[in-house]
Structure 1
Amino acid sequence: MNITHRWLSIVEGCLLVALGLHILNSAGLLISGTAGVGMILLRVTDLSFGQLFFILNIPFYILAWYTLGRDFTFRTFFSISLLSALSELMNHYVSLSINPILAATLGGLLVGFGLIILFRHNSSLGGVNILAVYLERRFEIHAGKTTLIADICVLIAAVVFLDLSSLMYSLIAFLFLSSVVGRYHRPPKWAQIPVIEIKR
């Protein structure tokens, strides 16, 4: 694969995800995985989403480095750093007022398609994404199933912080994201990108 094509695709994927997350944040809604945890923590800390997202992903680099390889880890680190920076920029310069149903629909779709692009170019956005890629390559468990379970866990945790209507709209976003990943994600050829066994 052409290196320029790969990196441009990763940048485009991060742009889609950043816009999707910004739309959801603007409507007070959540999304799954580490991003969803970051959105929840926004309500109890003074840190920005970009800062929280970057910090929360630090432990997952260890899993990626030892099981998915140096190249995957480097691309994931770049993607997370870029998404954090884009989120900061959008938070300061892009102001939105959007209907929650439209926000849930657009946000879920944009994040889902952004993740598809990243997965196809051997990258991720850390956290659950790293776990999803690892389980897919190690046990052939489709990434869509892992993200769906993560969606449910984030939704349960969010009960404390969101009202019923926001939870329902967030669920719509979760379903759109999982639907996109489930229908469009094509697992890589296992032999081309092997999982590295951790030596005990």
Structure 2
Amino acid sequence: MKVYATQWLAIVEACLLVALGVQLINASDLLVGGTAGLTLIALQFLPDMTFGQVFFLVNLPFYLIALRYLGLGFTMRTFGAVSLLSVFSDLISQHVSLELAHPLIASVLGGLLIGLGLTFLIRAQASLGGITILAVFLERRLSINAARTTLATDMSILMFGFVFFDTLTVVYSIAAFIAVGSVMGRYRKPAFIPPEQAASKVKLPLQQRTAKA
């Protein structure tokens, strides 16, 4: 029970950090990578919808893949994280003013917050769906390195950025991509043993361990 509580507390904290980072970037009309970046581009076509609404909808098709290849526990934690981020993002955009003096500041600060939040999610054995699920699926089914899928997706988002945003905006956005990758590259390490795996790692009694030795 304690493992579940600690894990979900980490997920809530992570979603708050990511939501704050995304809204900092969104308030400055910038881009970021991953599913959040796809959502920001989709908002160009759906001006009447909020980030949280579009983000939640974009992730729906990926849950079937997660359930099939990543297990029920991971899927439920990811669904919870996506739902929390959707709610937190809309609440922050409605009630908090996040416009900063310069978009480069928003890009770097937002990227750092997103990177830290994603790191917490990974350590809690969860994700924000979308690109992460696709990357793991391609790695397991087609042996395509997950990091390459993520990099290719981020590069595609940047290319689309040149279509929907001006060049200077995309250049500022690159700082967010770098900040996210920098934080995750240093601190990406699982912190929890999922409860469904912990049961299979029961310690042997002292007598059995002695006998095996």
TM-score by length of 1: 0.87
Residue 116 of structure 1, aligned match among 115, 119, 135:
119
Residue 158 of structure 2, aligned match among 155, 160, 165:
155
- Listed as ranges, the matches of 1:48-87 within 5 Å are 48-87=50-89
Q: Could you say what the CA RMSD is over the residues aligned between the two structures, in angstroms? A: 2.3
Q: Counterparts of 1:136 and 1:113 in 2: how far apart (Å)?
A: 24
For 1:85-107, what per-residue CA distance to the aligned partner results, in whole angstroms no more than 9, with x for missing partners?
00110111011221111111111
TM-score by length of 2: 0.82
Alignment CA distance shift 1:136-1:6 (3 Å): farther
**CA positional deviation for 1:130:** 1.8
- Is this contact kept in 2: 1:136–1:187, CA < 8 A? no
**CA positional deviation for 1:160:** 1.0
**CA positional deviation for 1:183:** 2.2
For 1:103-139, what per-residue CA distance to the aligned partner results, in whole angstroms no more than 9, with x for missing partners?
1111111111111110111100010122344567785
**CA positional deviation for 1:157:** 1.1
Alignment CA distance shift 1:86-1:172 (3 Å): same
Q: Counterparts of 1:86 and 1:59 in 2: how far apart (Å)?
A: 21
Instruction: Name 1:13's counterpart in structure 2.
Output: 14
- Is this contact kept in 1: 2:125–2:190, CA < 8 A? no
For 1:48-97, what per-residue CA distance to the aligned partner results, in whole angstroms no more than 9, with x for missing partners?
11110000000100110000000000000000000000011011101122
Q: Counterparts of 1:121 and 1:79 in 2: how far apart (Å)?
A: 11
Larger radius of gyration: 2
Q: Counterparts of 2:153 and 2:114 in 1: how far apart (Å)?
A: 14
Aligned residues: 190
Residue 172 of structure 1, aligned match among 162, 170, 175:
175
Alignment CA distance shift 1:19-1:47 (3 Å): same
- Is this contact kept in 2: 1:148–1:178, CA < 8 A? no
Q: Counterparts of 2:44 and 2:113 in 1: how far apart (Å)?
A: 23
Which amino acid in 2 is paired with 1:42? L
151-160 or 70-79: which moved more? 151-160
Alignment partner of 1:104 is 2:107: yes
**CA positional deviation for 1:36:** 0.6
For 1:138-167, what per-residue CA distance to the aligned partner results, in whole angstroms no more than 9, with x for missing partners?
859465x54333211111111111001100
102-111 or 125-134: which moved more? 125-134
Residue 133 of structure 2, aligned match among 113, 130, 135:
130
Q: Which runs of 4 or more aligned residues in structure 1 lie more than 6 Å from their structure 2 counterparts after TM superposition?
A: none
**Percentage of matched positions with identical amino acids:** 48
Which amino acid in 2 is paired with 1:95? S
Q: Counterparts of 1:182 and 1:141 in 2: how far apart (Å)?
A: 16
- Is this contact kept in 2: 1:16–1:111, CA < 8 A? yes
Alignment partner of 1:44 is 2:11: no
Which amino acid in 2 is paired with 1:174? F
Alignment CA distance shift 1:164-1:103 (3 Å): same
Unaligned stretches of 5+ residues in structure 1 = 194-200
Instruction: Name 1:33's counterpart in structure 2.
Output: 34
**CA positional deviation for 1:17:** 0.3
